[in-house]
């Protein structure tokens, strides 16, 4: 697959993978700069600083790959590739955030391309993305890269099949899936997501 033909890297910034431990503050500060609505979209309703700090710390320690977009040495966007061990069905989860000042310039698309290349290099067969059903920007970005989204209870969740050799923009925007498949995807997603949220919030720490 040649995703680089989709759109050139933004002229102003650069993209590279963060080193996990040392560059944690760069990811954390980027996430803390997100405005209230963006935090809501990114973290499915969780918006407080302490949650974001714990989340960034966890990413630095659990094998999550962070691909960052830099402008003048500051991280203005990030793509997260979470390791498959975090999901009950061993499907790696991905997430994106771009600060408002850097949006609609292809940054999200550039990060997505790099993330897919990284996932290929790791030998992953598919990726899962979850976002709010009203999140037009993320839905547009995900479908552009071939995600097959299903909708339920205010959330969209979808898979990107990395074994398919089709141009991502030729992929259907919303795939037809059976109700059983859709329900299973949502249940799996919710299980993984809420387990992560409970751990970061400290609710499940005794276990």
Ligand X SMILES: CC(C)(COP(=O)(O)OP(=O)(O)OC[C@H]1O[C@@H](n2cnc3c(N)ncnc32)[C@H](O)[C@@H]1OP(=O)(O)O)[C@@H](O)C(=O)NCCC(=O)NCCS
Which of the 8 DSSP states describes residue 207?
Answer: -
Residue number, 104 or 179, with CB nearest to ligand X:
104
DSSP line for 51-120:
HHHHHHHHHHHTT-EEEEEEETTEEEEEEEE--GGGSTT-PPEEEEEE-GGGTTSSHHHHHHHHHHHHHH
Give the shortest CB-117-to-ligand X separation in angstroms: 16
Q: Shortest distance, CB of residue 207 to ligand X, whole angstroms?
A: 26
Nearer to ligand X, 153 or 205 (CB): 153
Nearer to ligand X, 21 or 82 (CB): 82
Cα–Cα distance for residue pair 203/199, rounded to 1 Å: 6
Binding positions for ligand X, rule: CB under 6 A: 38, 41-42, 95-98, 103-109, 131, 135-138, 140-141, 144
- Closest distance between ligand X and the C-beta of residue 38, in Å? 4
Distance (Å, whole) CA 3 – CA 20: 25
Least distance in angstroms from the C-beta of 49 to ligand X: 16
């Amino acid at each position: 697959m040649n995703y680089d033909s989709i759109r050139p890297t933004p002229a102003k910034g650069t993209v590279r993978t963060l080193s996990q431990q040392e560059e944690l503050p760069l990811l954390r500060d980027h996430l803390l700069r997100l405005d209230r609505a963006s935090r809501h979209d990114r973290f499915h309703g969780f918006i407080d600083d302490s949650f974001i700090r714990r989340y960034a710390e966890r990413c630095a320690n659990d094998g999550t790959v962070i691909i960052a977009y830099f402008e003048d040495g500051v991280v203005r966007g990030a793509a997260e590739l979470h390791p498959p061990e975090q999901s009950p069905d061993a499907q790696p989860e991905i997430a994106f955030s771009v600060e408002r000042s850097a949006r609609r310039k292809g940054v999200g698309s550039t990060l997505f391309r790099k993330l897919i290349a990284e996932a290929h290099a790791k030998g992953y067969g598919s990726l899962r993305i979850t976002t709010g059903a009203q999140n037009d920007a993320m839905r547009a970005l995900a479908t552009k890269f071939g995600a097959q989204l299903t909708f339920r209870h205010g959330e969209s969740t979808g898979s990107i099949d990395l074994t398919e050799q089709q141009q991502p923009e030729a992929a259907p925007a919303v795939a037809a899936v059976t109700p059983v498949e859709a329900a299973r995807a949502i249940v799996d997603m919710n299980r993984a997501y809420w387990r992560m949220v409970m751990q970061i919030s400290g609710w499940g720490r005794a276990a």
